[in-house]
Chains A and B, each alone.
Chain A
Amino acid sequence: MANMAQAIRMALHYAEKNYNLKDVFGQDVGAPLGGVFTATQGLKTAWNSPLDERGIIGMAMGIAMAGDRCVAEIQFADYIFNTIDLLKIAGNTLWCTNGQYNLPMTVMTPVGAGIRGSVYHSHSFDAWASRLSGWKVVMPSNPLDAYGLLLSCIQDPNPCMFLKPKALMRVRGEELIPGEPTDEKDLKNMIDAPIGDRSKWKAKWPDVQEYLVPFGKGKITRAGDQITVVSYGRHLLMCNEVADQLKQDGYSVEVIDLRSIYPYDWQMIKSSVEKTGRVLFVNEDTEVTNFAEHLSYRVTQELFYHLMAPPRVLAGKNVPGIGLHPNLEDSSVPQKHEIETLIRQICAEVP
């Protein structure tokens, strides 16, 4: 099975071939490195930009304005903050121009903690991104979804933000990407650049097929009827694990992988909460003001009389950074034991 970095590469290759994707660019995105997480190795259209995030986003907007599809990368989400007004402009261009200029551009950037990346390589961006009107925002939790969501982003005529959970870049999925060789070693030999001299290396791409994960469609990854847990990205995997553990103690936990942060799958959350009467939202962006607070607000407004317990949000602590020492990192972003404790607490509440 492919890991997420390989899945992203294959999606970009598929889009180069089939969607007329013409530029994949950013710092160190082109040869020889192919991205600091190797997600852009071997691609035909990948090139290295200057070390200038505003230049990267501005250029992406211009390429899109001229009608070409592009994927621009910001090396770490921590450095996307100095482009925030450009992101705002990209999101409002269609609206401000009365529908005249659309920007079919995708921005991808690795997010979140979990690799001991310290203050400037651990930031989250999902809550921030959810405030960028005019953008579609997604975050996959497995390689197949990464493939399908990235293709949806590249195909879409609006600006799309593809958030890569960096801690999952080397995690393998459970499902094959359509067209992917069944043997991991075969795939590696075909599309992983060799260590050392790469000047003559060329990727041999498997004949991958189109597979789309549509925007606004979540996925139930664990069925249950006692509590709903909504997450995405790397924390989705933690929620799955906790649900499996708690099952042994007799808990029935329903886990939803939101996949798409905006637009989001309200119908899936709604029918699940109507069934369970309890809900916990989990993500690692800071808690004040968190996107899950919006979802929790909506649950309160629309599903109040279905609830057996107050909706809860488990998010990153509202501290300025993620410290390097594991004690600091682990106490700033949600951990498995916290998810478990909260699920037990919420399930124990009686109205």
Chain B
Amino acid sequence: MATKKAFGGLDKKLLINMHKLMVKSRVLEERLIKIYRAGESFFWIGGPGEEAWGVPLGLLGKKGQGPAYDYYHLHYRCTPTLIALGLPMIDSVRLMMNRSTDKSTGGRNFSNHYCIPEWNVAPVTSPLEVQYPIACGTAHVQKRLGKKAITIVTGGDAGTAEGDFASSLILASRKGQELPMLITVQNNKWGISTSYDGQHGETHIADRAKAFNIKSRVINGNDPVESYICLQEDMAYIRKTGKPAFIEAHLSRLYGHSSASGANPVPNEVDPVREFEKKLLKAGILKEKDVKELWQSFENEGVKAAEQARQEPVPTAESVWDHTFVGSENADWRNF
């Protein structure tokens, strides 16, 4: 009973599962950095530090395809959410190593630019914040369908300077036409090298949502229990009222911005995976030996995934015209 209280009343099985998925995501992302360092990939960007937020987000969605299920419009630090949704490591590695077996982009786009229509995961876009107004479109269709499915959109704190962020607050909150959306910002206090104070005058980004009468709050995104409970409450609120909710999650960026700024560990940041693990060990929910084995088993899976992806084919030069139009209809003017 005391344990339950300490972990916000969350079930032991759920806590163990969240920890497992957080570890899996972390191990995978560290593997991706190694692949990049070994020169087997051109670019790394990822989400170590976002596990305590991303895993609950993936667990709580209504997973499926089409507007009767929840849509995820995510940014590039979203591996924890995808892992929680059930992404096999190999798929992330294929994307990283731009194999033609990479379903998300067919070897065309960067690491973590996932796209999984089967789970309503919208394509991650490189231009920051365009996902916000696009998300309003899927939410609009869901509202019309009336199945209580919601749209979730995530992004970074610096990106909120883009007008598209404001567009989404406006589109989501019009009186009588509110959209069933969970709008979130993962505030790690950095935009590449620009600090939070270097960009923002507002105390909380969440205050901007308040101005649009959107239910809004700031949470500790480094605590998976707090994340889970808040997300669960807000998702229930959105499903019930059909109105949007906003969460600003404060969390860590453990490995620098991307390979562009060096994928090096950042000192003095809270490590949400290790913190949670410590708490679970202390509470006797996990055992040292099991934890060690868990990390090791994911290590092995990551190594195997890289070995396998290495053997897989890469896109051919001729495939460059594929998918310009639906059905690979001729798009090459030379053939008109």
A interface residues with partner B (beta carbon < 8 Å): 22-23, 49-50, 52, 54-55, 57-68, 85-86, 89, 93-102, 133-134, 136, 157-158, 216, 262-267, 294, 298
Contacts and interface: CB of A to CB of B under 8 A. Distances in A.
A66 B137 contact: yes
Interface stretch (B29-37, B183-191, B271-279, B320-328): B320-328
A205 to B, nearest CB: 22
B137 A60 contact: yes
Contacts of A100: 103-104, 115, 117, 123
B145 to A, nearest CB: 9
B144 A67 contact: no
A267 B334 CA distance: 11
Interface size on B, as a range, is 35 or more
A9 B134 CA distance: 26
A95 B323 contact: yes
B170 A61 contact: no
Interface string B151-188: 10000000000011001101100100000000000000
Given A93-B123, A263-B333, A98 B137 contact: no
B12 interface: no
B134 A59 contact: yes
A45 B123 CA distance: 28
B136 A62 contact: yes
B130 A86 contact: yes
B39 interface: no
B208 to A, nearest CB: 16
B199 interface: no
B136 A96 contact: no
Nearest to A68: B141
A89 B140 contact: no
Contacts of A55: 133, 136, 164, 167-168, 170-171
A62 B170 contact: no
B122 to A, nearest CB: 6
Contacts of B109: 96
B134 A98 contact: no
B141 A94 contact: no
Interface string B312-336: 0000000000111111101101001
Nearest to B320: A95
B106 interface: yes
Contacts of B103: 98, 100
A54 B164 contact: yes
Contact of B137 (A65, A96, A158, A294): A65
A121 to B, nearest CB: 23
Interface string B56-72: 00000000001100010
Contact of A63 (B115, B141, B331): B141
Given A59-B171, A66-B66, A97 B115 contact: yes
B138 interface: yes
Contacts of B330: 263
Closest 10 CB pairs of A and B: A62-B137, A58-B133, A98-B106, A66-B141, A55-B167, A99-B323, A266-B336, A63-B137, A157-B326, A62-B134
Contacts of B139: 62
B80 to A, nearest CB: 21
Nearest to B330: A263
Contacts of B4: none
12 contacts: A50-B167, A50-B170, A59-B133, A62-B135, A62-B139, A63-B138, A96-B113, A98-B105, A99-B326, A99-B328, A100-B115, A101-B122
B132 to A, nearest CB: 7
Contact of B138 (A49, A62, A96, A157): A62
Contact of B336 (A49, A93, A94, A264): A264
A99 B326 CA distance: 7
Contacts of B151: 62
